[in-house]
Amino acid sequence: MFTINCPQVVGNLSRDRTRCRTTANPCFSVKMSSILVQTDESGNLSESKKISSSCSAQVKSQAQNSLLGQANTVGIIGGASVLSTLVFLEKLVWWGSRDGEESVPFVVCSDPAIDGALVSQGSIHPSLDGADRNEAIIQNLRHKRVFLEQSGARCLVMPCHVSNAWHEKISDGCSLPFFHIGECVAEELKEAKLKPHDAGSNVRIGVLATSETIAAGSYKEKLGNQGFEVVLPDKATMEHILIPAIDSLNKRDIEGARNLLRIAIHVLLIRAVNIVILASDELQNILPREDPLLKKCIDPMDALARSTIKWAKSGKQDT
C-alpha cells in the first residue's frame, strides 16, 4: 500500500491552530489528507482510492500541480510499522510548521506487507535463507524509492533503523539527496562539540538496538566516520538485560521493562559514553518523560526529522 499525503491540506490545517489542537490525535490531520494507492500481486499500481471525501476535490486538483511541482517535496519510505512512520510524520509536520510556516510537502510510501519482515530482522549474518530474505526486502524498498522519485519527491528519507542498514543498496542509482539516519545523528553530535569523559580518548557514543547486528552496525559506521568511538552492549547485557526488557514490554510489564532499560543505559554510561542512542522503536517511550536518564539519550528520528526540515526550508534544492 502506498500513501500519498497532500502537503497543502496539511499545511492549511497546521495554520488553523485552534482546529488542530482540538483534534484528539495530531496525526489525524495527516491521515485526513491521504490517498491510498494499492498494488496488485505483480507490484503494479492499481486505481487510487480516496480515504477522505472532505478533501478529495482539493487533492484531485493539486495532485498534478503543487505536489509534483514543489522543489522541496520530501519522499518518505515507511518504517517497520505504520505507527513509527506516523510518529515521524508528526515530527515533520509540527516541527516544520512552527511559527505559522507552511508544513513541509511530502509523499509517503508505506507497505504493511513488509513490516513483519523488517521487524524480524535480528541478524545479517550470511545464511542462505537470511541473505535471500534480505535481498527481497531490499528490492522491495528500491521499488518504493523509484515510486517516490516518479511521484515528484526531491529528497528521500527512511524513518526505519533497520532499512538504513541497506541504505547504500537502496540508494544505488538515485540522483536525489537521500538522508541516512546515522549520518544525521553523527552530524548533530559533531556540531554539539562534545568533550570526552576520559582525557586523550575520542568521544564515546553508546548505541542500544534490539537488532544489534543490523541497526547498531549501521550507526557504528556513520558515527565512526565522524571520529566517534561507538560502544555497544556486550552479549551478556543483550541476553540478560535488553532483550528481557523488550519481552517485559510485550507482556505489558511496563515497570519491569523500565527497570531493565535503565540498567542497560547505566551499563553504557559506566563505560564513559557521553550519549546513548536508542536505535529501536521498541525502546522509545518506555521511560517516562520526566526520567532523568532521558537527558543522556537521543531518538535518532529527531535528527532525521530536523535534517529533513532544514533541507526543505533551505531553498537550495535543485529545480
**What is the overall mean pLDDT for the chain?**
79
Q: What are residue 229's DSSP bridge partners?
A: 204
Residues carrying CATH 3.40.50.1860, the chain: 2-178, 183-299
The pTM is what? 0.78
What is the rounded average pLDDT of the residues 38-45? Answer: 42
Q: Tens of pLDDT along 209-253?
A: 886 556 678 899 999 999 999 999 999 999 999 999 999 999 999
User: What's the pLDDT score for residue 287?
Assistant: 97
> Does 49 score more than 80 pLDDT?
no
148, 109 in Cβ contact below 8 A? yes
CATH class as words, domain 183-299: alpha beta
76-80, 293-297, 315-319: least confident range: 315-319
CATH class as words, domain 2-178: alpha beta
Q: Given strand 155-157, what is the order of strands in its sheet?
A: 49-50, 34-37, 2-5, 106-109, 74-77, 155-157
Q: Tens of pLDDT along 279-292?
A: 998 899 899 999 99
